[in-house]
Chains A and B, each alone.
Chain A
């Protein structure tokens, strides 16, 4: 019987309500004030009343019909407040945390009677909220790759329902760990861990709580997490029959055979149990470009290559068109049937070469290809002290600065390539401070690298090193043959952590590349041309005479100055930050998202612009002074999310409909068999009855109708 009712009011409100029926009866017992009316004779009236008084008890009942209707009305209202219902799951405990998965896979439409898995989850959570008794509190957390507190602990069911409705599907991956951390922090005080930027939520005392996890189980097992006093309940959402075909990769790259041509590469993955065929369409700015038929074996991926020729910059979209070869012929997830890629103009990089004079370099950069890749300026080391240089260096005007036989006082906001010098600062010196005299960039007496380095006792110099190996896989040394290069002397490098050694010699590394913030620094330990103390030039290596020399500089230009193109065509995962670089020293950039909304981002303390609002799939335009300078694409491309099939239980004893358990720490959380039954409540019908009674009472009162 207790299950049949749910108490909704605290005792004092019930007490107030209980006073209403006696009040109604009392009002009816009060003497009715009748309006006096003079009539010729009460003779006929008296006789009429006498007739009615014959069966006076029934008459009294009839006269008090309105009172009984009012009592019935209040009784119905009280009955409705008791919220009679049946078949509901009894909620055990006082505190509940509802974890609602709103990752991309929860948008799958494989649930009967609901638009998506997320809607089904919300329906189930709503059902559980309906079953909360007075005194029970609950909170709602939605999670995709990051958790979000939708509603803190409250016993306000209306608020919970309202907030529940605000949960929107996302296109992100799933990370249960973060959500559990957050829930754990709120349920087990003293261990509160809220995601960065979020406000701390204090929980006063440690109380056990029940965590309801509404998810399709498409996530990694949660490792290294202790549930403590949290009692998990896993409600699997979705069906085993969900079938999906997804674009899991879409990128553009230069053709291997013809570097001036670009190609788009689409990868289609089949998450069904039978081979499928689909048509992949590629559109540029909404205009059809090409289409290809793709056959995908069950559970595998296939690729299709689309030549783009000299397609202009724009937004590339790849669409899957197909009908699943499954009984339902329905694709469970639509979000991953479209892939996006940005096609950017290959814009020439701006390159500054600071050199006291280097014929070999000038010749190497004089090729037509080099001119396409970058606008190259040559300056003498005197420029390093000018304000103009300092402003340009700090303002990211240059993509690449080559310091030949010189070094700046501080590192610029650009990729750098040092020839025969170490970058300023202790990073490249194993933590040692550089000695004075090195910075000015002018050798006083050294005739070559060794001589100049000798002045700085800390920098180790080797003479006549033999090159023994070089990193052929690195793009800078791609197709560069160094076996026949001879050196007179070179600095022996002590590259910082994270650096890649490019050239190894008998004495140690003599060329290396290392990342610095958003930039890359390449250091060649050896000079090409040195200067004697008297100003005459000497030759330090025979490399300029080799074919590999111009190849190296071209690679360096492509990788350090023109390398933006490749990095920007790579896809970004939804929700991840994107680093953007402005051309020139501008204070702010504008990003237009696929929905057309404009975001203005300001330069942070760091060198680059950070853009975080990558919540939508599609191609984002980066605008600078009203012109689109570049584009980047945000794609789901998540195999875990695209594989929407709910994993069946591996337990041989489990029923067929049992979903796989999820593992949290070393606890196996069994999936609930079937759905959590939603309570069928009749309070709305009762309230409707009460309303009908009210209308009936009104009718009787106004029309003086008696039964």
Chain B
């Protein structure tokens, strides 16, 4: 499916992403050696520092030349190279299937772009959706070769999952107990609230990014007259008569919702980013995410 591939990850975007890499602010231990220079000192060929020997240190790392010269036991420290666990969690509920492009499509593009960045730096990339059960894990991808598998997998994601936000994140946390970076791409539209769901992520020792995707229709609704609004997920009905004060009220509610989510995330060390589906993925990654420190 060359067309969809290029839709998710067009070549010019790929070219731009080639130069980026994922960043984590926390010290993570990867299971395999990767290209990533870890903040831990470890066993690589690249020298990092010296420090005094303390009993228990590996004698192999003593610098004998220095001992001969200075008659002191000095340990050579080397930089550790490791890989990164990068998770992308996509909300594939029905409410994501709105907008032009749909929020889900936008989420897929975003996931593909971030996944690509991870793959080319030989990080471990796993893309999952909220609707996956505890036992069913998404494929683990690594290396450039995984790009097309990732795209295929992304293509296969369809809207229509009915798992609630909290349930989905809980399942994700159970599936992936390790450390790493998790990027949650969702519209956070859950009648039970997003707070309990995000709390699950807080409890993980993961670097959490919440990308809040909202469509233009939600940010600035263009509706008129007397309407019966039907919720696409639970068929809930809200009768409204559109008027200027109602629209103003909606705007303020939306701002409160977005502001509340942002504050919730910031307080808990999570990174929050509001994404309009009209903002190109290229710009979003190239400027916003870069500024927030997810990529560099």
Interface of B, helix, strand, loop or mixed by DSSP: mixed
CB-defined contacts of B241 to chain A, threshold 8 Å: 32, 63
Judged by a CB distance under 8 angstroms, whether A457 is at the interface is no
B222 CB to closest chain A CB, in angstroms? 11
Residue of B nearest to A47 (CB): B253
Judged by a CB distance under 8 angstroms, whether B189 is at the interface is yes
Judged by a CB distance under 8 angstroms, whether A48 is at the interface is yes
B250 touches which of A48, A703, A705 (Cβ 8 Å): A48
Q: Are A37 and B229 in contact (CB under 8 A)?
A: yes
B233 touches which of A41, A703, A704 (Cβ 8 Å): A41
Within 8 A of B (CB), among A49-108: 49, 51-52, 62-63
Judged by a CB distance under 8 angstroms, whether B240 is at the interface is yes
B230 touches which of A37, A43, A49, A704 (Cβ 8 Å): A37
B21 CB to closest chain A CB, in angstroms? 34
Judged by a CB distance under 8 angstroms, whether B59 is at the interface is no
A63 CA to B245 CA, complexed, in Å: 11
Contact A52/B245 with A41-B189, A43-B191 known, Cβ cut-off 8 Å: yes
Contacts A34-B227, A42-B229, A46-B238 supplied; 8 other A-B pairs, CB < 8 Å? A36-B229, A39-B229, A39-B230, A40-B95, A41-B189, A44-B189, A704-B243, A706-B243
* Total contacting residues, chain B, CB less than 8 A: 41
A63 CA to B99 CA, complexed, in Å: 30
Judged by a CB distance under 8 angstroms, whether B225 is at the interface is yes
Q: Are A42 and B227 in contact (CB under 8 A)?
A: no
CB-defined contacts of A41 to chain B, threshold 8 Å: 95, 187, 189, 191, 231-233
CB-defined contacts of A47 to chain B, threshold 8 Å: 253, 257
Judged by a CB distance under 8 angstroms, whether A29 is at the interface is no
A327 CA to B63 CA, complexed, in Å: 134
Within 8 A of A (CB), among B234-268: 236-246, 249-250, 253-254, 257
Residue of B191, B250, B254 with most chain A CB atoms under a 10 A cut-off: B250
A33 CA to B239 CA, complexed, in Å: 10
CB-defined contacts of B240 to chain A, threshold 8 Å: 45, 49
CB-defined contacts of A703 to chain B, threshold 8 Å: 244
A706 CA to B237 CA, complexed, in Å: 24
Judged by a CB distance under 8 angstroms, whether B215 is at the interface is yes
Judged by a CB distance under 8 angstroms, whether A387 is at the interface is no
CB-defined contacts of A34 to chain B, threshold 8 Å: 226-228, 239
Q: Are B226 and A42 in contact (CB under 8 A)?
A: no
A35 CA to B224 CA, complexed, in Å: 10
B259 CB to closest chain A CB, in angstroms? 13
Q: Are B245 and A706 in contact (CB under 8 A)?
A: yes
CB-defined contacts of B227 to chain A, threshold 8 Å: 34-37
Which 6 pairs between the two chains have the least Cβ-Cβ distance? A40-B95, A41-B189, A34-B228, A42-B238, A42-B231, A40-B98
Judged by a CB distance under 8 angstroms, whether B218 is at the interface is yes
Residues of A at the B interface (CB closer than 8 Å) are 32-49, 51-52, 62-63, 703-706
Q: Could you write out 23 A-B pairs with CB less than 8 Å apart?
A: A37-B223, A37-B227, A38-B229, A39-B229, A39-B231, A39-B232, A40-B95, A40-B189, A40-B231, A41-B95, A41-B189, A42-B231, A42-B236, A42-B237, A44-B189, A44-B218, A44-B250, A44-B257, A45-B238, A48-B250, A704-B244, A706-B243, A706-B245
CB-defined contacts of A40 to chain B, threshold 8 Å: 94-99, 103, 187, 189, 215, 217-218, 231-232
CB-defined contacts of A48 to chain B, threshold 8 Å: 246, 249-250, 253
Residue of B nearest to A704 (CB): B243
Residue of A32, A42, A51 with most chain B CB atoms under a 10 A cut-off: A42
CB-defined contacts of B99 to chain A, threshold 8 Å: 40
Contact A38/B230 with A44-B257, A48-B249, A48-B250 known, Cβ cut-off 8 Å: yes
A49 CA to B187 CA, complexed, in Å: 21
A703 CA to B243 CA, complexed, in Å: 8
A44 CA to B218 CA, complexed, in Å: 9
A306 CB to closest chain B CB, in angstroms? 86
A553 CB to closest chain B CB, in angstroms? 108
CB-defined contacts of A706 to chain B, threshold 8 Å: 243-245
Q: Are A51 and B249 in contact (CB under 8 A)?
A: yes
Q: Are B226 and A35 in contact (CB under 8 A)?
A: yes
B198 CB to closest chain A CB, in angstroms? 16
Within 8 A of A (CB), among B202-229: 215, 217-218, 223-229
A36 CB to closest chain B CB, in angstroms? 5
Q: Mark B129-142 against chain A: 1 for CB-CB distance below 8 A, else 0.
A: 00000000000000
